[in-house]
Chain A
Amino acid sequence: MRRLLFELSFLKALFVVNLSSAMEYRASFITQIVGMLINNGIYFVFWLLFFDRFGSVRGYQIDDIYLLFAIVTLGFGLAFLFAGNAGANLAYLVAQGRLDYYLVFPRPLLPHVIFSRMIVSTMGDIVFGFVAFLFTGRFHPIEILFFLLSSVLVALLLTAFGVIAGSLAFFMGNAQYASQQITNSLLTFSMYPNVLFSGLARTLLYTLIPAAFVGAIPVQIVQGRDGVLLLGLAGFVLLLWLIATAVFSLGLRRYESGSAININV
């Protein structure tokens, strides 16, 4: 337990250093956050216009979209605010031989690598997530609690998925683009009402690209105040993390380092 607390306090120290580094450039820092807010806002307005025109899609209404957006954007924001190196960045580090930097330190490798970068713009996602939740009008304490817990689980899920996608670089070499595509597809599918999909596509969203666990299921958890489903989601996240750790560890044995000169530009 003491060890775990120490590792968490180390991750906190990493976060503080990251934040200080990001705030060195004030204008860029603020622009990225505001830019992401606007970006999400535009996407959101599209759905507002859509539901204004069509009313509902197979039972999915604008209130569901508010909640879906709130959970997905908050989950995504939390994931990549803290673990900015999961996903395509991990693939880049592996392909460029830049894991060397982390391998010489006595810290658990995977958390050290993924928590060593903060994507500043995700602060805009986090703010957007909370604002979208205000629109849902769901202020029952259980709903608020389940919304927060679901978002944290979604963040953990996205991070684990990012680790798996990024670890492809151990096996494929330059997998930056592929891992970017894979993580983007997870995010994209999770932002659509899952009632739109059926058959094979729906099966895919519950298995290979588990977008249903990022969007539809957390929405169900909050709407139905469903504690059992919340536990189910937690179980799935745990399973995905076990797979992510195994894939990363297996890949690490194939790591070839590299001679890339690190030039900061």
Chain B
Amino acid sequence: MQYEAGKPAIEVRDLAKRFQLKQKAPGLRGSWQAVWRPEMREITAVSPLSFTLEEGDMLAFIGPNGAGKSTTIKMLTGILFPSSGHATVLGCVPWQQRRQLAYQIGSVFGQKPQLWYHLPADDTFRLFARIYELDMKSYQRRRDFLVEAFQIGDLLQTPVRKLSLGQRMKCEIAASLLHSPRLIFLDEPTIGLDVVAKQQIRDAIRTLNETENTTIFLTSHDAGDVESLCRRVIVVNHGRIIFDDKTSVLKRQYLRRKVVDVRFADALTEPFTLPGVETVKQGTYGVKLEFDSRQIPVESVIQQVISGHTCNDINITDPPMEEIIREIYAV
């Protein structure tokens, strides 16, 4: 089957995955019984899902742990066979045309590294060039482009085990883009990274989308990833879609609260208060503030904080994804 331009990059219809799970009563007695009379229970990892994703779009596919995000990605990349339903990715049925599809997609699993741990990333890059059958000239051109985009020029000759998590992750993503995939699956690409590394990765992904029209399918627990990268959000929970709309809608409705952690140089002598801002926690040298960024802009809160005190550190975060999902349920 040949993919036709103009058709959706991903088409999913009633895709579902169920697993058989062995049940056992607690303790040794339960284990003994399970050996002779195992009881199986069917669990639904993904309830019938249906959605489409246009080529060049950037989709955040989010949800709490166990929501079925990774299982969905695994079905869409051909790793898992579905229990029922149908899907095409760039015109291929992933679990039937896995190899054909693999030339066109890239995938990054934040918790499952692809780089050879004891070797410099450059060695894995060269191996990937062989895996994807790239000729040396186009490989070299692509490698130079990615080295520039991810700023990894001085990291490529260092054994991967000696790179920091952020450095390694940049190399991981660059490696998965060597064959110029038209669609990339990013499963928690910024997990455990500091603010600077996160931003560099986000910038590079955005650049790829803008310059090469690469379709992005992202899962992340970091609301910042979703907010800064994706135009559309699908929220899944217990294997079902509970929200599917533009990121701006999610932002307007649910991503309005910000959390600010402040560390002061001097001890606080009295309760810290700012109008319209909730002081969630106060210690001798720090406070945790929460506010609605639609009511009070972030800059205004920061300005008020630094105008009255000398600060050592200020950290602005979004509420965790679980909280956003709870809010979606509450509506």
Distance, CA A261 to CA B113, complexed state (A): 9
CB of A200 within 8 Å of the partner chain:
no
Interchain CB contact under 8 A, A10 and B130:
yes
Tell me which residues across on chain A come within 8 A of B74, comparing CB atoms: 100, 257
Tell me which residues across on chain B come within 8 A of A13, comparing CB atoms: 126-127, 130
For chain A, give the interface size range.
Answer: 20 to 34
**Closest-CB distance, A261 to chain B (whole angstroms):** 5
Interchain CB contact under 8 A, A259 and B119:
no
Interchain CB contact under 8 A, A17 and B116:
yes
Question: Which residue in chain B gives the minimum CB-CB distance to A252?
Answer: B81
Question: Which residue in chain A gives the minimum CB-CB distance to B115?
Answer: A264
> Given A17-B123, A104-B102, A264–B161 Cβ distance below 8 Å?
yes
Interchain CB contact under 8 A, A106 and B118:
no
Interface residue stretch chosen among B103-111, B196-204, B292-300, B316-324: B103-111
Tell me which residues across on chain B come within 8 A of A10, comparing CB atoms: 130-131
Question: Which residue in chain B gives the minimum CB-CB distance to A24?
Answer: B118
CB of A54 within 8 Å of the partner chain:
no
Tell me which residues across on chain B come within 8 A of A24, comparing CB atoms: 118-119, 159
**Closest-CB distance, A253 to chain B (whole angstroms):** 6
Question: Which residue in chain A gives the minimum CB-CB distance to B185?
Answer: A104
Interchain CB contact under 8 A, B80 and A257:
yes
Interchain CB contact under 8 A, B81 and A253:
yes
Interchain CB contact under 8 A, A20 and B119:
yes
CB of A255 within 8 Å of the partner chain:
yes
Interchain CB contact under 8 A, A104 and B77:
yes
B152-190 CB contact bits vs A (8 Å, 1 = yes)?
000000010100000000000000000000000000000
Interchain CB contact under 8 A, A6 and B133:
yes
Tell me which residues across on chain B come within 8 A of A9, comparing CB atoms: 130
B137-161 CB contact bits vs A (8 Å, 1 = yes)?
0000000000000000000000101
Tell me the dominant secondary structure on chain B's binding face. Answer: mixed
Distance, CA A21 to CA B119, complexed state (A): 6
Interchain CB contact under 8 A, B119 and A105:
no
CB of B3 within 8 Å of the partner chain:
no
Distance, CA A262 to CA B112, complexed state (A): 5
Total interface residues on B, CB under 8 Å, equals: 35
**Closest-CB distance, A231 to chain B (whole angstroms):** 33
Interchain CB contact under 8 A, B79 and A21:
no
Tell me which residues across on chain B come within 8 A of A104, comparing CB atoms: 77-79, 102, 105, 107
**Closest-CB distance, A24 to chain B (whole angstroms):** 5
CB of B114 within 8 Å of the partner chain:
yes
Interchain CB contact under 8 A, A105 and B131:
yes
Distance, CA A18 to CA B132, complexed state (A): 18
**Closest-CB distance, B111 to chain A (whole angstroms):** 5
Interchain CB contact under 8 A, B127 and A100:
no
Distance, CA A87 to CA B105, complexed state (A): 31
Distance, CA A103 to CA B161, complexed state (A): 24
Tell me which residues across on chain B come within 8 A of A105, comparing CB atoms: 102, 131
Interchain CB contact under 8 A, A259 and B70:
yes
**Closest-CB distance, B171 to chain A (whole angstroms):** 14
Tell me which residues across on chain B come within 8 A of A261, comparing CB atoms: 111-112
Tell me which residues across on chain B come within 8 A of A14, comparing CB atoms: 127
CB of B98 within 8 Å of the partner chain:
yes
Tell me which residues across on chain A come within 8 A of B109, comparing CB atoms: 100
Question: Which residue in chain A gives the minimum CB-CB distance to B78?
Answer: A103
CB of B19 within 8 Å of the partner chain:
yes
**Closest-CB distance, B132 to chain A (whole angstroms):** 7
CB of B312 within 8 Å of the partner chain:
no
Tell me which residues across on chain B come within 8 A of A52, comparing CB atoms: none
Tell me which residues across on chain A come within 8 A of B81, comparing CB atoms: 253, 255
Interchain CB contact under 8 A, B117 and A264:
yes
Distance, CA A9 to CA B116, complexed state (A): 19
Distance, CA A20 to CA B111, complexed state (A): 25
A235-265 CB contact bits vs B (8 Å, 1 = yes)?
0000000000000000001011101011010
Distance, CA A253 to CA B79, complexed state (A): 10
Tell me which residues across on chain A come within 8 A of B304, comparing CB atoms: none
Tell me which residues across on chain B come within 8 A of A259, comparing CB atoms: 70
Tell me which residues across on chain A come within 8 A of B133, comparing CB atoms: 6
> Given A101-B112, A106-B99, A17–B77 Cβ distance below 8 Å?
no
Tell me which residues across on chain A come within 8 A of B112, comparing CB atoms: 98, 100-101, 261-262
Distance, CA A259 to CA B130, complexed state (A): 28
CB of B33 within 8 Å of the partner chain:
no
Tell me which residues across on chain A come within 8 A of B284, comparing CB atoms: none
Tell me which residues across on chain A come within 8 A of B126, comparing CB atoms: 13
Interchain CB contact under 8 A, A17 and B102:
no
Distance, CA A257 to CA B109, complexed state (A): 13
- B102 CB contact (under 8 Å) in A21, A106, A255: A106
Tell me which residues across on chain A come within 8 A of B118, comparing CB atoms: 21, 24-25
14 A-B residue pairs with CB within 8 Å: A6-B133, A10-B131, A17-B119, A17-B123, A20-B119, A21-B116, A25-B118, A101-B114, A105-B102, A106-B102, A107-B131, A255-B80, A257-B74, A257-B79
Q: Which residues of B contact A (CB under 8 A)?
A: 19, 70-71, 74, 77-81, 98-100, 102-103, 105, 107, 109, 111-114, 116-119, 123-124, 126-127, 130-133, 159, 161
Q: Which residues of A contact B (CB under 8 A)?
A: 6, 9-10, 13-14, 17, 20-21, 24-25, 98-101, 103-108, 253, 255-257, 259, 261-262, 264
Sorted nearest first, the 10 A-B pairs with minimum C-beta distance are A106-B102, A106-B99, A13-B130, A103-B79, A24-B118, A264-B117, A261-B111, A21-B118, A262-B112, A104-B107
